[in-house]
Structure 1
C-alpha cells in the first residue's frame, strides 16, 4: 500500500518522517516541489485560461453606467442614446481600471511573500503494509499534512 501526502516544508515534516522510521517504516520518499520562478502570462489564449479577466468588472460597470446615462439622457441635451453609450464607455474604463489596480495590488503582495522566503511544498510517498496504513495516516495528519491519498 502506498500513501501520498503533501506538506509545507517545515519541522513537522521532519518529525513525521522520524516517527514513521521509529514505527519500522523505511520505504519513505520525499519530493520537494519547485516554486514558480516567473510571473504567469497576463493575457489568456483560447487554449489556456487561468480565470483572470480584466473585462468582467468593466462590463458590469458599463451596464450600470449605460443604464444611468440612458435614463438621465431623457432630461439632458443629447438624448438617451448618446448618454447611454457615453455612460457605458465610461463605466467600462472605470471597471477595467479597477480590475487592473486590484491585479497590481495582489501581484505586489504575492511578490513580497516570495521575497520573505515562502517555502515550497513536499510530496511524501510512504510504502507500507495494509495493517500499518491507519497508523501512518494518523501520524501524517497529526503533523499537519495538507492532503492525503491512499492507493493499493
Structure 2
C-alpha cells in the first residue's frame, strides 16, 4: 500500500520521517516541489483564465460616466452622443487604472511575503503493509500533513 502526503516544508516532516523509520518503515520517498520562479501571466486568453481581470471596474465606470455624460450632453454643447462617448472612455480609463493600481499594491504585498520566507511543499510517499496503513496515516496527520491519499 502507498500513502501520499503533502507537507509544508518544516521540521515536522523530518520528525514524521524519523517516527516512520522507528516503526520499521523504510520505503519512504520525499520530493520537494519548486517554487514559482517567474510571475504568472498578466492577461488571460480563451484557454487559460486565473480570475484576474482589469476591465470589470472599467466597464462599470464607463457605464456610469457614459450615462452621466449623455444626460448632461442635452445641456452642454456637443450633444448627448459626444458627451456619452467621452464619459464612457473616461470612465473605462479610470476603472482600468484603478484596477491596475490595486493589482500593483497586492503584488507588492505578495512579493514581501515571499521574501519573508515562503516555503515550498514536499510530497511524501510511504510504501507500507496494509496493517500499518492506519498508523502511518495517524503519524502523518499528527505532524501537520496538508493532505493525504491512500492507494493499493
Q: TM-score, normalised by structure 2?
A: 0.87
1:70 aligns with 2:70: yes
CA RMSD of aligned residues (A): 1.9
Question: Which residue of the partner structure matches residue 92 of structure 1?
Answer: 92
CA–CA separation in structure 2 for the residues paired with 1:49 and 1:66 = 29
Question: Which residue of the partner structure matches residue 118 of structure 1?
Answer: 118
Q: How far off is 1:75 after superposition?
A: 4.3
Question: Which residue of the partner structure matches residue 43 of structure 1?
Answer: 43
Q: How far off is 1:140 after superposition?
A: 1.4
Q: How far off is 1:7 after superposition?
A: 0.8
Q: How far off is 1:77 after superposition?
A: 4.1
Q: Name the SS for the 1:30 alignment partner.
A: strand
CA–CA separation in structure 2 for the residues paired with 1:96 and 1:41 = 17
CA–CA separation in structure 2 for the residues paired with 1:124 and 1:63 = 52
Alignment of 1:112-151 (within 5 A): 112-151=112-151
CA–CA separation in structure 2 for the residues paired with 1:128 and 1:29 = 12
* 1:77-107: CA deviation from partner (whole Å, max 9, x where unpaired): 4433223222211111111001111111122
Alignment of 1:11-50 (within 5 A): 11-50=11-50
Mark the CA change 1:69 to 1:29 in structure 2 (over 3 Å): closer, same or farther.
same
For structure 2, list consecutive stretches of 5 or more residues without a partner in the other structure. Answer: none
* 1:21-71: CA deviation from partner (whole Å, max 9, x where unpaired): 222222111000111112122233444333322112211221222223333
Q: Name the SS for the 2:51 alignment partner.
A: coil
